[in-house]
Amino acid sequence: MKKRELTRRLCATGLAAALAFSSTGLMALADEKEEEQMVELEDEIELEEGGSEEEEEQEETLQEVKEEKEEVVEKDTKEEVQEEKEEESIEAVNLEEKDTELYVGSDWAGANVSAKTEKTKVTFDVKNFGWANSEWGIQYIIKDLGLNNNTTYTVEFDITSSVDKDIFLKLDDAGGFIAEKVALDAGKTKHYMKTVSCGEFSAKPYLFFALGQMSGEEVSRSGEVILENLVITEGEKEPEDINDDDKKKGKEYDFKKDNSQYDAADPGKLKAGYELIWSDEFDGNYGDASVDKNTGLNLDNWAYQLGDGSTDCGNYGWGNNELQCYTDRPENVGVNEDLNDDGKGEGVLRITAKREDGYTYKSESAKNYTSARLRTTRPTEALFDTTYGYVEARIALPATAGAWPAFWMLPQSTTVYGNWPVSGEIDIMETCGAFTDKGNDVACGTLHWGTPTHVYKGSGYVNLDSDYTYFHTYAIDWQPGEITWYYDGKAINTLSNWESAIPGASDSLAFDAPFDMPFYMLLNLAVDSGQFGGSVNKARFEDDINMYVDYVRVFQKEDGYPDSVTRKASDNAADNWKDYAGINQIAELTADNLETCEGGGMSDSSADKGKWYLSYQQDAIDAKLSKVTQDGTDWAKVEITSPGSQDYSVQLIGHYDAKAGYVYKVSFDAYADGGMVGKSVNCDSKEWKGWSTYGVTQAKLTKEKTHYSYTFAQTEDFDNCRIEFNLGAQASGNVYIANPKVEIVDPAALGSSEKARTPLSDGNMIYNGSFDQGDNRTGYWNVVDGTSLTVPRYTTEALKSDDMMVIDVASKSNYEAISDGKKYFERRAEISTTGKDGATIYQPDMKLSADKYTVEFDMYSDSDSAVKAGAYTLTGTGNVVKLGKELGSAAAYYKKSDGVRHYTLTFETKEDMEDAAVAFTFAKGTKVQLDNVYMNGANQKSNADEHPLKTDSSYRGDNGGGVELPLVNNDGAVTMSGITSGGNWYSPQLASEDFELVAGQKYVLSFDYKLSGNQNNTFQYIIQENGGSWHVYADGPETVSFDSTKTDDGFDHYEKKFVADASISSVHLNFGFGNSGANGDAAFTFKNAKIDLVKQTAVVGEADNENVADSVFYDKESTAPAKPSNPGNSGSANSPSSSGSSNSSNTVANNSKTEIIAEPVVPAAGNTSSLADVKKSTKSASTKVNKAQSVSEEDADVEETPADDESEMASVEEDDTVTIQSNDETTIADEATPEAADESAVEERGFNPIAIIGIIAVFAAATAGTLIYRAKH
């Protein structure tokens, strides 16, 4: 080969090839090829023979090649540099030079954030993302972006959050060319890029970053968000394809393998002592049942729930920020399919979660996952529900991040106790598809209820014998007052200590409530956003994941269940409790034993039992702990600035050694200031391995120092058990705690609590007037000898058309044998007597001032009757206590034809009494039902603010998205101008400052208003919780029409009364104009806006008072009613009425003053509580359980005289009044003559000559001044 040929070949191949490449990588390959060719060339030259002239030519050739190479390299390098310069010319936006705005909705959203800008980077230090369920509570707005109409742009940036968080991105205020959520994983930088074709920009062509707390996210969290490298370019840019291992599918059940050694066996349909009342075996053998032809699901057993919760229940993401849309398609549900290719169905239910980007249901937002949620009820029909039973399913679960499977139960009705959580939830099984520190072999069971806010208590995660991807049985044995979880037939947890209250109630509901109602079952496979299982369980999977259910079965005890139970200690309770009584098991609070630690800090296993620890999480790092001394008492002061996102974000923790078999009493004093006033916090006794709770109470904090206590039975030994005060996720403020005690007490005290007797939040002086609280639902009520007070859990007949009815499907075929399954839960007190006098029930320990009192109640009887309400002194010593002098009373007749009648009676007292009683007495020989008892005084100071919203309260204008709008206040008349109606009823809106409403209180809202400009003369308003769950009062939003002709000054007037159904401290009044048809020049003006308390009093003389002779109520040989000695118990809702204990041995002395000899005095509530024996109902549907058993015949010393068939009543002419005065304690007069009582019968009120003769006789006997008779004739 000639030298020049070699040179030409070298240049044509190596250098030409190098020139053809522009990237660095390809250039390197060209250089490598060229070097190889240079070596070949040099080798060939060495082989060539020739003289020095040839050598010179060779050197020249090599030199030429090197120079040509350098030229090519230089040229390519210049091209690369030019490309880099061109790329660098697309710079990230310098945010320091831009017009930006940081909006913080601190007032309406609770947000707290600051921002630091450094060129292309902005860092948001978020103290509180807010609690308003609105991303617009925090907005970062970039305004001057120089965007052109009708142009395609690519927007990209990097964003990092320290917490799992969604943000909302919007390009252009009106156009919304980009309007979507962006999901952020804690600690991970997300590169966002989207190309969008933009049309005409609006007046605000801004880029909005909405960072506030979104619906479904935890409230009041803190964290840091960093936004950087924002680049906006014209044209389209392809996103990078990033591989993510988290998208991989995990293990799940393989039907082609023999899994028998790992599967829990099917225990079968026979269970000793139980009978099977319902099941679905998912084998397709459904006979004539209605079956979905697409999925094979038995629609007589199950119904689908569809969507993301927005349409079904108005709760986006089903309240948990879940990522799926539920469907009824075969892609997500299947029954008895061939899953191992053997041509036979497997006899299981399949629920599949499937990746389907952009899936939509109706008008809901698009979802990227679908799945299924099945329940045994429809919105208007109970398919199957049950009260009590052994409920079991055999299930195999998927082990993929994002899986959130559950088998659980919800109440069939929320009308009895209220909405979730007060109404209750039973989670039989739930778990996650992925855990950071656990294998796929754990599951948990949990109870949810409320007091009235959410409280939950569960087993903690429990290990299974094999992975949950295999079949395991998950069950509960649900009995009155006790629920035990069974996994694979083994008991893993028992709960028997929960307390739930209706807002405004005097105390907790009956011990077994709210889990004494029909519940239905649910099966679902949710897709977790990370809210349940944390970031490790956040869904990213792309392949289908499956949950398989072999069967669902429900058993009930063959002997049935008791109608009600009282809380009592285990039969194995330690009997040496007296050895430890009065000894505080936990450290006192001192300045020397307070320690602060982050994130729990201390190791619970080695924590010093002599210390109290302040524990805070990363979202509440500014919490502080110190000691303050007030009036000689040391208080632990917990300062909360950032409340965090969880109740455990801020905790005060002490430790003690818990011992099985004992009943413990936990007590403490607490109060609060700042934003913590009015907030409810939990105090738990809890173990720290599985985080199961032994005892829990909820304390509503006030400005006043208040004593709290609760009791619970300890079921296992646990060293360094926690007492924890969970103070997070509420508000900023200070909480003060003193005198914490953990004591071993008498097992009989189980269920007792301590609470001062003051009027309720609605002003009611009667506790448990609704007869649904305390043991047997008779808490706070006592009875006299012979009176029976019973409150059935349900009845099978309605007395009114609006009585609360729930279908209990199981009762159609079980021991109750209720043909239509209808149960009525009105829960009226059933009152009767076996004595000569009329039945009497009463409440003692009442502080009564001289006042005019109004008593209201509902009454029913199946015969003519009468009722008397009165106030009495309490007298007696030792074991004998009785009703003494009558302070005032009022009475009225009842006619059988009245049905359920509402009464308003009024009476007046003339003296103050520190210890009085209010009693209700009914006509002799009659049985009555009583409900909804209310009493207050005309001069009684209300516990609620009488003017929560005042005429001078402040207001704020808002466009409905958080942007403030100006208001003008002209001498108290507030005007919003320039109104343009938006897409929501509250766009735009006017919102008041926050105020507090109290459950049960009646209020009246009023304001004057006018509208002007182009609009449709309507607007809307709502009275609503400001944040939290956005609770709505009075069924708002309410539409109001404007009529300018009603008043001379152009203002119309509006007024509406309503009853608050919840006690909430952060309520506001909102006026909304989204549906007002306003187009820019409309204005709204209002003045005199206020909400006033309506006091529930009636004027004496305007009530139902009638003249009813005492002979209607009392036998001639009797005088004042008496009461058994049990004074302390009246302070606790869980104390039974005096005749409610089956082991009582009261003795009745039949003399002029009936004295009831009671059992030994029971110590004050909170120390002990009598325990009533459980009486079980039988299979007979007609059998009723008497939960407040009156004194039995064999227990009484007095000979019983049967009541007459007809009630004995005396009538007094309507215009007559009888006033009886006496210096003696007994002021209930005997009849003037026996004949008057004997001949008196229930008759129409009018002239009765026999009664008049009797009165004249009384008058004749009154000459000594003992009795005074006054008649109008």
Q: What phi and psi values does residue 48 have, to the nearest 5 degrees? A: -70, 140
User: How far apart are alpha carbons 1097 and 1100 in whole angstroms?
Assistant: 9
Phi, psi of 481 (to 5 degrees): 80, 5
> Is residue 56 flagged as an active site residue?
no
Q: Annotate 652-711 with DSSP letters as a single string.
A: EEEEEEE-TT-EEEEEEEEEEEETTTT-EEEEEEE-SSS--EEEEEEEE--SS-EEEEEE
Beta strands in 489-538 (DSSP E): 490-495, 519-527
Phi/psi at 419 (5° precision): -75, 170
Element (DSSP H or E) covering residue 55: helix 52-88
Tokens of 1050: 């152009």
The Cα–Cα gap between 973 and 1087 comes to 5
Interatomic CA distance for residues 824 and 1177, integer angstroms: 18
Query: Which among 923, 563, 920 has a CA at the least distance from the CA of 769?
Result: 920
How many Å apart are CA 1065 and CA 995, to the nearest integer?
6
| DSSP annotation of 1180 | -
Buried b / exposed e over 204-230, threshold 16 CB at 10 Å, is: ebbbbbbbbbbbbbbbbbbbebebbeb
User: Measuring CA to CA, which residue among 822, 805, 821 is closest to residue 813?
Assistant: 821
Exposed / middle / buried, residue 414 (Cβ in 10 Å: 0-12, 13-18, 19+): middle
Listed in sequence order, the residues at least 6 apart from 968 whose beta carbon sits closer than 8 Å to its beta carbon are 974, 975, 977
Distance CA 214, CA 975 (A): 31
**How far, in Å, CA of 441 to CA of 464, rounded?**
5
Hey, what are 754's tokens?
A: 């301590």
* Catalytic choice (281, 322, 346, 425): 425
Q: Residue 629: enclosing H or E segment and its boundaries?
A: strand 624-630
Q: 448, 449, 451: which is closest to 501 by C-alpha?
A: 451
Q: Which residue is associated with the tokens 């008791």?
A: 562
Distance of CA 455 to the CA centre of its chain: 7
Which residues neighbour 831 within 8 Å (Cβ) at sequence distance 6 or greater? 787, 788, 789, 790, 839, 841, 922, 927, 928, 929, 930
| 1214 carries an active-site annotation | no
Q: Which residues, including other chains, have CB under 8 Å from residue 88's CB and lie 6 or more apart?
A: none
468: its two tokens: 């949950």
Helix (H) or strand (E) holding 62: helix 52-88
The pair of structure tokens assigned to 692 is 């199961």
- Torsion of the alpha carbons at 342, 347, 353 and 356, rounded to the nearest 10: 60
Q: How buried is 1101 (Cβ within 10 angstroms: 0-12 exposed, 13-18 middle, 19+ buried)?
A: exposed
Strands 594-598 and 612-616: parallel
* CA–CA dist 987, 417 (Å, integer): 34
Q: Are strands 663-674 and 805-807 parallel, antiparallel or unpaired?
A: unpaired
Marked catalytic residue, from 392, 430, 724, 830: 430
| Two tokens, residue 37 | 């060719």
Give, for 1234, the enclosing helix (H) or strand (E): helix 1234-1239
- Tokens, residue 193: 């890029």
CA terminus-to-terminus distance, the chain: 152
Tokens of 956: 């704020």
Enzyme catalytic residues = 425, 430
